[in-house]
Structures are given as structure tokens and as C-alpha cells.
Amino acid sequence: MSKRVKIESQGYTYEITSEGLVTEQLRRHYQKNDSNRPGFDEQPDPEQVRICEDWLATFGKPRKTFNRQSYSYSLKHTIERWAGRYVTNGAFLLAAHRAGYKIQPESPLGLNGLINISFTRKAGGSER
């Protein structure tokens, strides 16, 4: 099993899980409300991460600033259309982290993140 990836941002520690970016505060929020979120404790699937890495290598490149038009959750849906299969938000975030992109959580209790991505060509559709 691979090491869990944690990032620090805005005074919080986030762990990249299959659900996305998870803080201890978010875990407690869901436990308090009796919501079962098993993805909070699961690491992203390696095959899904590989698909996201392939997409990033094909369509993305880092830029200096965060792209506020493209949250991780919307990009994971773009990847799903391209790959023709499901990938998790966390698989995309882990792939972006491994590829050297910066990640900024959208909020302390949110699962999604912004990354510093620009696109080398149109990134939609199923042209794989």
C-alpha cells in the first residue's frame, strides 16, 4: 500500500483520498451527522490515477496561477468523458499532485480543489 499524500493549505492539513481533499474537520462533520463516507479512508485507485495522469500529460500544463474556472470535480468529469470510464475526484487530485501541479482546496469543508492548470488543446469529449 502506498503512502498517504497530505498537503498543507490555508492552515489545514488535507489528505488526498478517493473522495478528494479531506480534513479532520470534515471527517468529524460527517461523523457527527451520521453520514457514512467510506471514501474518506480509501486511497485513490491506481488505475484511475494512471488514466488521470495520461489525461494531464495529453491536455494540461502547469501555469503560475490557479485556474479558477476548472475545479477538480469538473475536470474529473471531463476525464471520464475522454476515458469512457469512471474516475474519482481523489484520483484526479493525486495525479495532479504527482505531476507537480499545485493544489488549493476550494474550502476547508469541501472535497474539491483548484490546480494551476492551463490546457494545451481542447480537453473535452472522447477523443482518446
Q: Where are the domains of the chain?
A: 6-119
pTM score, two decimals?
0.89
Identify the CA nearest to 79 among candidates 110, 58, 108: 58
- Write the CA distances from 16 to 11, 22, 38, integer angstroms: 16, 6, 13
Residue 105, number of CB atoms within 10 A of its CB: 23
Could you report the per-residue pLDDT of 13-32, keeping only the tens digit for each? Answer: 999 999 999 988 888 877 77
Could you report the per-residue pLDDT of 74-99, keeping only the tens digit for each? Answer: 999 999 999 999 999 999 999 999 99
Residue 1: per-residue pLDDT: 45
